[in-house]
Each structure stands twice: as structure tokens, then as C-alpha cells.
Amino acid sequence: MKIVSGEKMGEIDRKAMEVYGIPGLVLMENAGLQVVSMVCKLRPQRNKGRIIVFCGRGNNGGDGFVISRHLQRLGYRVETWALGPLSSYKGDAAVNYDIFLKGGGYVFLAAENDPSKITEELQVSDLIIDALLGTGIRNPVAEPFAEVIRSINKSRAEVLAVDIPSGISAGTGEVLGMAVKADYTVTFALPKRGLLLFPGAEYAGKVLIADIGIPRGLTASSEIRENLVTGDAVKSRLPLRKTDSHKGTYGRALILAGSAGMTGAASLAGEAALRGGAGLVYAGTAAELRAVLEAKLQEIIVLGFPGDGKGNLIPAGAQEIVDFAGKCRVVAFGPGLDPGSGTLALLRELLDKTTLPMVVDAGGLGALALDTNLFKNKKAPLIVTPHPGEMARLSGTETSVIQRERWKFAAEKAQEWDSIVVLKGAHTVTALPDGEIFINPTGNPVLSTAGSGDILTGIVTALVAQGLPLQWGAVCGAYLHGLAGDLLAAQTGERGHMAGDLLSFIPMALNRTAELSFSEPGSLYPVKIIS
């Protein structure tokens, strides 16, 4: 599913009206009805509670009048506040304001009431619908909108934002002075960038994407290079599990991992690869650590390659590794490896001697940061999976700079390095060398713990071992890794977990994705689609 800025969505809306001939009033009616559908799910008992709808002066406010009209028709107790009289509204918003009044609706005027009156009314409501500003805002929020937003945020009622929380930039996620803090956002046709970029993502709550009848030819345009990963997209690409199959059917994976004190990383990555569906997983470590890993692992085959006597793999063992890797579909390189010059030299040898796909993480990335020219001389296609700190070292900048421009840095470095970049963190970004990026909606603070990245490496490696193209191994791996964290948090909460706790939730994530439909509202996922 494509992700758009407010400007791009406006262009799509105009084309829907001008090229396809869909009236703006039809799109506005559809948008309002989708929000009403969500309210009915949130508040199925129509005779209980009180809903307040705030309607701004633009099309977002027009949506609000449609919402008020239909909620009243359905028997909800609704109070509607506008930012001015009918004469101050224009276009489709004015038409729906007029329809609302002619149908017997009553409108309170925010600008003509004492701010304390609004605050007082909000204290006795249980749902607030924010249709104040929408995606068109460019400048800091001004009065009287600012006063209304302050009152909304002081209220204890749940808040549902229409299209985007008022005060959030649809293009950057920036808070423009102040913004509504929503519990839910129903956004129309396509997700907006500001709902997925921080801090906007923190203000959006749970995001629901609603179909309002815009033709697919506009919403699926290949010109749009930013994509939201959906459960249905991952489901359609999961490797088949055939009745007539055996361990060889699902591929072999070699994971080069571990050093003194870091064998746990090798263990986590290997077990995640098996849980992720790889048929055979080999953990390759320095020969002197082989016995340690064998004591930890049962189903994973442990191999000892030449080491330096201190637990580190050495370049002299590269040919032996390459020869064995010829039996496999993919190599993972890095979990628990020392991020020093010896590991860099080994990686240089491997990239020169094999064309086998490689997933590079952790110590492998630390070594690679010592000489990023390796990207130019590689024969093997790469997936690199840095966290923001590792990305900063690879890019020669600060972590804070990476975090401010996550999508931009991932896209630029994927093209510069001719590699797939999986930039970890909240809403993990997977960037392809051709400029396409994929934003992952799953995951939560459960994943913010040592070893979580090793598990992601294992899952991605498993998917590539089963035959997924590298880009989909990376995209689907990030989604499933986050979903395992969501399932764990849903069962026991977000606190007190270790990375190893995720392992038993990987099968659940795979099976949920394979068996369920994600287009139905009401699932636990943070971004879902209303059709």
C-alpha cells in the first residue's frame, strides 16, 4: 500500500474528480460514512455516552458535518461545534454544513463561546471527533483552533481524528505548534507520511485506512515509491508449506556468528532461523567455541571454522567457509562477531569469493563501518540490518541525524551501496537499491532489548533460505519480527521481556499471517484497512 504526503493526496483527489468524474461530495460522503462505521464499532450502544464533533472550515470540517449527520440519524447523542457560521465555509464543506442544518442539526460556534464552555462540554463527553484541520495545514496552529486543541487534549474522553490529528504535518510528522493527541485516526484512501513519521505517529494512535472509492489506478501508482507493509502483502509472499516436503525443501542457511562472551547472539539468530522455517541451519563459529555452542543448541548444526584461539573467526578460514556455504542458499554474517579489523578482513574475503546472498548484522556492520568501500567490490547481494547507531557509523554521521531523516538515509544508502538496507527502530524502514522503500507498522518496545536484532537476522535469513527474493525476505522478515513482538505484548504486556521470549511467538506470527485476513477491522494490528 502506497504512502503519500498531503500534497500528493490532494493531487489524487483532484484526479479522481477531474479525470474519473467522481464528485467531491461523493468522496466526502464516503469518508464520513467510514468514520461513522468506526464509531459504531467503538460505541455499539447508541443510547449511551455523548459524542462531540469539531468541524474546521475546510474539507476536513465537511467530513465532520457528514459524520454528525449520520451519527444523529443512527440515534447517537451528538454535539457539533463549528469554527464559524455557514457563511464562513466554502465548497463541499459549505454544502454539507447546509445539509446538516436543513436536516435539523444544531451547531455551536466555537469562536463565539467562552473557551471554558468548550472545556466544560468536553468533560461530560466520552468520544471526541477531531475534524478541525486535516492534511492541508502548513503553518503553526493559530486561534481559535489552538484553544480548541488545548481543550481536547485536557479531556479524558477518547479522541478519534479524521484523516490526521489536527496540527500534525501530513508530510513530515512535525507538530505544528500543537496537535490533537488521538487514540484513533481514520485516514482516507492511503496512509499519510505524517502518520508514520515521528512525532506524528505518537499523536495518531491506532491508524485505520478507509477506502472512500478512489480508483486503484490512482492509489497504486508506481510513481509513489513509499509503501506501507500490510499483512495481506506479507501473507501473499510467505513460502508454501507443502505436504510432500522435507527439511531440504525449505533450504539451508549458514550463520557465521559468535565470539568470546557473545555465543548467545549466535544461538538466538540460529533458533530464530529455524523458527522462521529454514529446513537446516548451521551455526559457524571459531573452532574453540564449538563446544560452547553445541551445549546451547540442539536442532542447529554447529560448525567450527579456523579461529584465532580467542574465539574469533579469521580470514584464513574464508575458503573453508565458502566451500561449505556452497551447500546453502544464504549466509548470515555478524551476530556476536567482533566488530574489528579481523572480521573486516574475513568479510572482504567472503564478499570476493562468493555470490551467495548475505545478511550482514551486528559485528559484521561494525567491521563494515571501518571500510564501506567493500560495498563497491562485493560479488554477493547484501541485506544489511543496522540499528540507528550502526547506520550512523556506516554513514559517518550522528545517530540523531539518522533519526531525523530515517526514510531519506535508508533510501540514499541503499542506492549508494547497491544493497537492501533494513534500518531498524520504530517503523523499521526497508530500502531497495532502486529507490523503493517499505515502512513496517508492526512492533513495540518489547523489541527494545539486547538480542532482538539477532532474531530479526534469523527470520530474514530463514525466509531467503526458503526461496524468497531478497527484498521480500527483508520486508516480510521485519513485519513478522515486529508481529511476534506484538503478539508477545498482547499476551503478557510490554515490560520485563528478554529477546529469547520472542522465539516462541515467531510460529504464531507466521501462522496468524498465513491464515487470517488483515483487511477486517478489529484485529490487534496498529495499522489496518477498512474496505
Q: Based on the domain organization, do 208 and 251 belong to the same domain?
A: no
Q: Based on the domain organization, do 190 and 276 belong to the same domain?
A: no
What's the CATH number where 454 sits?
3.40.1190.20
CA-closest candidate to residue 431, choices 447, 445, 419:
419
Q: Based on the domain organization, do 280 and 190 belong to the same domain?
A: no
Grid coordinates in use for 306?
579456523
Instruction: Tell me the mean pLDDT in the region 343-348.
Output: 97
- Residue 319 CB: number of other CB atoms within 10 A? 13
Q: Based on the domain organization, do 220 and 251 belong to the same domain?
A: no
Q: Based on the domain organization, do 21 and 127 belong to the same domain?
A: yes
Q: What is the domain range of residue 83?
A: 6-224
Helices marked H in 238-340 — which ranges? Answer: 263-275, 290-296, 318-325
Residue 156 lies in a domain: yes
* Pair 200, 168: CB distance under 8 Å: yes
Residue 45 lies in a domain: yes
Residue percentage of the chain with pLDDT more than 70:
97
Q: What is the pLDDT of residues 230-274, one digit of tens each?
A: 999 999 999 999 999 999 999 999 999 999 999 999 999 999 999
Query: Per residue in 3-29, is it b (16+ CB within 10 Å) or e — as a string?
Result: bbbbebbeebbebbbeeeebebbebbb
- Residue 304: phi and psi, rounded to 5, are -105, 115
Distance CA 113, CA 479 (A): 48
Q: Based on the domain organization, do 213 and 277 belong to the same domain?
A: no
Q: What is the pLDDT of residues 301-312, one digit of tens each?
A: 999 999 999 999
Distance CA 123, CA 241 (A): 54
CA-closest candidate to residue 452, choices 383, 501, 512:
501
Q: Based on the domain organization, do 261 and 348 belong to the same domain?
A: yes
Grid coordinates in use for 463?
525466509
Instruction: Tell me the mean pLDDT in the region 472-485.
Output: 98
Q: Among 165, 192, 224, where does a domain finish?
A: 224
pLDDT band at 376 (very low <50, low <70, confident <90, very high): very high
Confidence at residue 29, expressed as pLDDT on a 0 to 100 scale:
98
Residue 355 lies in a domain: yes
Q: Based on the domain organization, do 130 and 75 belong to the same domain?
A: yes
Task: Count, in order, helices (H) and strands (E) of the chain.
Answer: 21, 18
Task: Report whether pLDDT(529) > 80.
Answer: no
In the chain, the number of structural domains is: 2
Distance CA 226, CA 229 (A): 10
Q: Based on the domain organization, do 321 and 214 belong to the same domain?
A: no
Grid coordinates in use for 483?
508481529
Q: What is the pLDDT of residues 416-447, one digit of tens each?
A: 999 999 999 999 999 999 999 999 999 999 99
The whole-model pTM stands at: 0.94
Residue 304 lies in a domain: yes
Residue 523 lies in a domain: no
Q: Based on the domain organization, do 48 and 141 belong to the same domain?
A: yes
What's the CATH number where 55 sits?
3.40.50.10260
Q: Based on the domain organization, do 107 and 153 belong to the same domain?
A: yes
Residue 393 lies in a domain: no
Residue 321 lies in a domain: yes
Q: What is the pLDDT of residues 119-167, one digit of tens each?
A: 888 988 999 999 999 999 999 999 999 999 999 999 999 999 999 999 9
Confidence at residue 531, expressed as pLDDT on a 0 to 100 scale:
42
CA-closest candidate to residue 338, choices 370, 362, 303, 304:
362
Q: Based on the domain organization, do 174 and 262 belong to the same domain?
A: no
Residue 333 lies in a domain: yes
